[in-house]
Structure 1
Amino acid sequence: MDDAVDKQGQNPVLHVLVVGFHHKKGCQVEYSYPPLSPDGSVDSNECPAGWKYLPTLALPDGSHNYDQDTVFFHLPGLNNPNETVFGISCFRQISVEKLKNRTADITRGTVQKSVCVLSSVPLYGHIHVKMDLITHAYFDEGDFTKVSLLEDTYHHLNDCLKQIEDLHVAPQLFVGLSVRDIVLRLRHKALLLYKMMLLERKVLFFHSPVQPLCSTILSLLSLHPGMIERGLYSSACIRPSRPMSPVPNYNGMTSVGTTQIGNEPQVISQEKPLEETKYQSTDLETKLEYVSTTAAIQVVPNGNCVREVECESHGSSEDMSDALNGDITSPKMFNGDGSSSLPRDSSMDMLGDESLQNTLSSIALVDAEKCGLPLDIFNDGYLCLPYLSLPYMDVLTDQNINGYVIGATNVLFKQKKNLADIVVEVESGRVETIDIDLKRALHLSTEDLRFGEFLVRQVSEMRHDNYLDGVGWEGGDEWIRSQFHAYTLCLLRTSLLAEGSKELDQFNKWFMAAWQETNSYKKWLLSSHSQNILEVNPGHPFTGQLSVADMKLRFAHTMQTTEGGRKLNQAMASTSRAVATTGRAVGGALTQAKGALSNWWSNLTSPGDMGQIPSNDISQQESPESIEQGVDAIQSHQVLQV
């Protein structure tokens, strides 16, 4: 991080660009300060070879459907194979009638452009807030040839960012990354997606418009301690096996990242049982009795699992079809083989939120950086690209790409076969995969559901204040990240236990086995930092005896997340609407009958009305049919009550 900012006096903001849409040439750079190429001009349309498709990132697919939006994207460094450049682009679309100076290249009824910043620091939201104002001012000017504002923006942004002390840990890094909104929207699935990131699989997030897509990905990453601050600087480093136009050519340069552990991408499903290995560090052997990185997943060639999660009998693939979204495959999943397979010290019903908060707060005091965090996930050919345009799709199939977390707005990414192991629909929160082993690994344990419920309850009960919304401590963004900080430390500490330890089940032993086979975990285990985690007690912070509340929680999670649960919810909602409609009809008839009888009785008993000529206005007269309807409604209401 420090190298990225200070090397050769480099400014945090590298370039300020204008990208426009040309009716014949498509997306192209129209202005860049400083020039993208050292020998180029500020108004050159040419991009460096390694950034050939930069304009397609700054003006995303489908952007013409929106008047304005913002996109965050990553680019590989042009000269350094171990460097990532962070892009923030604000785009707008206005009618040409609002322009004061209509140039010859504007031939359509609307004009669309983006103002883009390329930065060496992942200050997504902080830069976005400033650039949103600049973009509006640039468009309101009505003359796109006046670019002095953009040059001033470049100098002003750099001056402001240089005044921030310790930029790599500054709170400005988290501006706009609301994990509170993630918890409120995704509820328990926020934890599922957090754990999914650790498995280094091919993950596709899909949504349009693009800003909620990028914000969701980056907000989830911010739950991993230190990831935004220090973990993304190799997230776009691509060294393909063959020359490819979308990415730079690093011939003769040093290889990307550190030495990869193993030549093949790490996967959960294996053709044969993995061999048991032991960590050989003498330093750790003095403190640990046994450390295993064994993968507990055993499969046969046809892909059917040898044993199921906490079940006595074998289950079919249909039993696990909804496991990822929270389905219950068997009542025994609550309690192992029918008895308590995980003896715990106390019931969760007896633990108050205050004691849980005290426990998590004490764990969160442990320095995450000294414990080896963030994990080196986005390295060695594993990418993080919050938004990716269609021209980059072929890069993902290169043999040197081991996996990725990407965001896309183009449906072709979803339709591409074998492109993603997991597809996440951001709008609905649905997580889809056909890999049975992966579904099993991402199944949330009872303890995980308790943790998720604790977060949801605290965030939901947070006092709403228009001025302080989201910035308070308990239930706010920083509080949520602190809880995941503690969860991550407990997860790492528990992973050092011997295979078969009951504490592994508390995090889902299948997840633990799959995670221990990832490249980032193996590198963490081999580092000296792994010893510092020993001061944390192993086990899940939400361990406790199984209770009826846990069963209710599992059932509620299933109803909210599985396909079967959603269909049942829809059926119940339809039934409720039908009953409500019937109730309104009955209630309306009762009211009408009551009004008719009241008016009729008033006419009979009111002395002043005696001898008056009845009105000819039918709206003010009660017909015999209305009285009969009221009587029928009363009788129907009595039948319904019976």
Structure 2
Amino acid sequence: MEIPYKVEYAYPPFTEETPGDSTECPSAWKHLPYLALPDGSHNFDEDTAYFHLPSLQDSSETIYGISCYRQIPLEKIINRTPDMTRSTIQKSVCVLSTLPLYGHIQVKMSLITHAYFEEGDFSKISLLHDTYHHLNSCLSSIDNISTSPHLFVGLSAVELVTRFRHKVLLLFKLMLLESKVLFFYSPVRPLCSTILTLLSLHPGLIENGLNKSVNINPTQVSIEAEDKVIASDEKPIPENNVENSVCEKFNEIIDDDTIQNNSFVSNIPRDPSMDSLNEAAMQYNMISIAQINSEDCGVPMSIFDNGNLCQPYSCLSYMDILTNPNVRGYVIGASNILFKQKKNLADVIVEIDEGKVEIENMELRRHLHLTTEDLRFADYLVRHVVQPDKEDVFLDGVGWEGGDEWIRAQFKAYLLSLLRTSLLNDGDPELNHFNPAFITAWQQTKNYQIWLNREHQAIMALEPCHPFAGQLSVADMKLRISHTMQSSRSGRKLNQAVQNTSRAVASTGKVVGGAISQARGAVTNWWSNLTTTQDLEDEKNTPVVQDI
């Protein structure tokens, strides 16, 4: 492709009716050239974009695009054409697939693209023909995509948790609320990979939950009663049933190792033997839940359908689709700053480079407030993934505990526990462990309504509770303070003030009065805001988050 963006060659033709020498995109694929050649691509020698298109046979179905981009100097081109007037040539080799094997296809296509460009003769299209037949042969040999080892190639859950830490749980829950979410980063490949990795934490979503992710035609969802409750024969499991409980085995809190970098938090003595006991019970509980067949529990959730879109990479021209009145929400990735500047385009902006989540809507902040139990779960993840004494980088992400599969198993267990608990009656104290404001908002979404009317009998075998429910401890205070320090604007200011004071002491050998005043003022203001917020929470009996 070249500027102006256009398709130069397509094999086979887009449709059976399309003439063999025609490269005009069907109207449903008018954004294809701009999706395949990302905004700002001239800043990089190579990149990869993942995107979705509607099927030409059934517009509600998804076609998965994998585009490998490269640019090379003009002098390396053997057969130059008159329109090659720039010093560098930018082109993409794009594959449109019916299977969401993004990373697997990308690995193969990156090699093909490299060879194609190194030859320097773009008139030789035989390589593209051979690639098409080879890919078809490889992909057709996959019997079950859900069990394919190629499904999550390039989607590192370890990297995701390392970058976002406790906020990865917030993002996980955000996906269920069908909001308008913008992920921002450049280059495009890590942008797309971050989004798809997050979605891979939802069991079955990558392989079976994106097939309608660009469907903007509203369809009537068969919901007999949106406020439907559990049928009378689905009796809740008694809370005193110790044998079936996956919560009562864990009554203590695992201390937080990750907040030791916050210099204002003192180290609290720990009993290693008790930690080991709790850790073993915790792992047993989570693994037991994760072994349940998710399909028997009505999972994957139908998050992307009926006007809730998923577009790992979005070009600027795609905005006309995002503003379509039939679009209820979306999860999109963008590298163009204009997406961030567009007013009311997104409810949430995720800055991947900084690991920052910006939520402007106060109501949505309240829904995404992480409870104490949520923070324990997030801390449990981070401590097992971020291991300072892990020296063998060649084994990162491939082991079980703390690896990619382990992380996905933990989130599967969390989701199943969340679904089971959501079936309790309003006002049940177990709902507080997941944030009742979140559950109420989630129960109003399409994906929850669809799940509620879907067969999910197997989930009734679970105890309705948070897997990290337990007695409050001093460790929970450390978790909450750490969460606030890392997430809120006021907390970040306080942390910066403390760091400034430490630097002043180190450089002068004595405490600088200005730095002490700055730190004291920051602490006073931060603690005042924290306690004021807590008072408001007590009055409203609902959690409120000032900043995320």
> Same fold judged by TM-score > 0.5?
yes
Normalising TM by the smaller chain, what interval?
Answer: 0.7 to 0.9
Q: How many angstroms does 1:571 deviate by? A: 2.9
Q: What's the CA shift string for 1:60-107, capped at 9, x where partnerless?
A: 111111111111000011120221000001101111122222222210
Residue range with higher mean Cα deviation, 343-352 or 41-50 = 343-352
Q: How many angstroms does 1:278 deviate by? A: 4.6
1:97 matches 2:75: yes
Match of 1:44 among 11, 22, 40: 22
Q: Which residue of 2 aligns with 1:76?
A: 54
Q: Which residue of 2 aligns with 1:572?
A: 498
Q: How many angstroms does 1:483 deviate by? A: 0.5
Q: What's the CA shift string for 1:107-141, capped at 9, x where partnerless?
A: 00011001111000100000011111111111111
Q: What letter is aligned with 1:526?
A: N
Q: What letter is aligned with 1:95?
A: P
Deviating beyond 6 angstroms after TM superposition, the runs of 4 or more aligned structure 1 residues are 342-345
Structure 2 unpaired stretches of 5+ = 238-246, 255-273, 511-548
Match of 1:392 among 290, 301, 318: 318
Map 1:403-414 onto structure 2 (within 5 A): 403-414=329-340
TM-score, L = length of structure 1: 0.71
Q: What's the CA shift string for 1:581-624, capped at 9, x where partnerless?
A: 4469xxxxxxxxxxxxxxxxxxxxxxxxxxxxxxxxxxxxxxxx
Q: What letter is aligned with 1:72?
A: Y
Mapped to 1, the partners of 2:226 and 2:64 lie a distance apart of 41
Kindly name which structure, 1 or 2, has the bigger radius of gyration based on alpha carbons.
Answer: 1
Instruction: From the superposition, tell whether residues 53 and 277 of structure 1 become closer, same or farther in structure 2 (CA, over 3 Å).
Output: closer
Q: What letter is aligned with 1:346?
A: N
Mapped to 1, the partners of 2:227 and 2:156 lie a distance apart of 40
Q: Which residue of 2 aligns with 1:348?
A: 253
Q: What's the CA shift string for 1:464-505, capped at 9, x where partnerless?
A: 434332111111100100011111110000001111111101
Mapped to 2, the partners of 1:259 and 1:572 lie a distance apart of 54
Q: Which residue of 2 aligns with 1:495?
A: 422
Contact 1:72–1:386 under 8 Å retained in 2: yes
Contact 1:384–1:405 under 8 Å retained in 2: yes
Contact 1:345–1:545 under 8 Å retained in 2: no
Mapped to 1, the partners of 2:286 and 2:220 lie a distance apart of 33
Instruction: From the superposition, tell whether residues 434 and 344 of structure 1 become closer, same or farther in structure 2 (CA, over 3 Å).
Output: farther
Match of 2:2 among 13, 18, 21: 21
Q: What letter is aligned with 1:512?
A: I
Map 1:477-626 onto structure 2 (within 5 A): 477-529=404-456, 531-582=457-508
Q: Which residue of 2 aligns with 1:218?
A: 196
Q: Secondary structure at the match of 2:48?
A: strand
Q: What letter is aligned with 1:136?
A: H
Instruction: From the superposition, tell whether residues 276 and 140 of structure 1 become closer, same or farther in structure 2 (CA, over 3 Å).
Output: closer
1:149 matches 2:127: yes
Contact 1:82–1:257 under 8 Å retained in 2: no
Q: What letter is aligned with 1:446?
A: T
Map 1:32-431 onto structure 2 (within 5 A): 32-41=10-19, 44-239=22-217, 259=221, 277-279=227-229, 284-288=231-235, 346-349=251-254, 350=274, 352-431=278-357
Q: What's the CA shift string for 1:157-196, capped at 9, x where partnerless?
A: 1111122231343121111111110001100000000000
Mapped to 2, the partners of 1:184 and 1:42 lie a distance apart of 48
Counting matched residue pairs gives: 479
Instruction: From the superposition, tell whether residues 95 and 546 of structure 1 become closer, same or farther in structure 2 (CA, over 3 Å).
Output: same
Contact 2:35–2:315 under 8 Å retained in 1: yes
1:476 matches 2:403: yes
Q: How many angstroms does 1:344 deviate by? A: 11
Q: How many angstroms does 1:345 deviate by? A: 7.5
Contact 2:250–2:278 under 8 Å retained in 1: no
**How well do the aligned residues superpose, as a CA RMSD in angstroms?**
2.3
Q: What letter is aligned with 1:99?
A: I
Identity among equivalent positions (%) equals: 59
Q: Secondary structure at the match of 1:370?
A: helix
Q: Secondary structure at the match of 1:232?
A: coil
Instruction: From the superposition, tell whether residues 583 and 104 of structure 1 become closer, same or farther in structure 2 (CA, over 3 Å).
Output: farther
Contact 1:86–1:122 under 8 Å retained in 2: yes
Mapped to 2, the partners of 1:55 and 1:456 lie a distance apart of 40
Mapped to 1, the partners of 2:119 and 2:499 lie a distance apart of 51
Q: Which residue of 1 aligns with 2:538?
A: none
Residue range with higher mean Cα deviation, 62-71 or 475-484 = 62-71
Instruction: From the superposition, tell whether residues 36 and 261 of structure 1 become closer, same or farther in structure 2 (CA, over 3 Å).
Output: same
TM-score, L = length of structure 2: 0.83
Q: Secondary structure at the match of 1:161?
A: helix
Q: How many angstroms does 1:392 deviate by? A: 1.6
Mapped to 2, the partners of 1:549 and 1:452 lie a distance apart of 14
Mapped to 2, the partners of 1:158 and 1:535 lie a distance apart of 42
Mapped to 1, the partners of 2:46 and 2:180 lie a distance apart of 30
Residue range with higher mean Cα deviation, 408-417 or 228-237 = 408-417
Q: Secondary structure at the match of 1:362?
A: helix
Mapped to 1, the partners of 2:345 and 2:228 lie a distance apart of 34
Contact 1:71–1:211 under 8 Å retained in 2: yes
Mapped to 2, the partners of 1:66 and 1:412 lie a distance apart of 19
Q: What letter is aligned with 2:324?
A: D
Q: Secondary structure at the match of 2:195?
A: helix
Q: What letter is aligned with 1:388?
A: S
Contact 1:53–1:391 under 8 Å retained in 2: yes
Mapped to 1, the partners of 2:80 and 2:476 lie a distance apart of 65
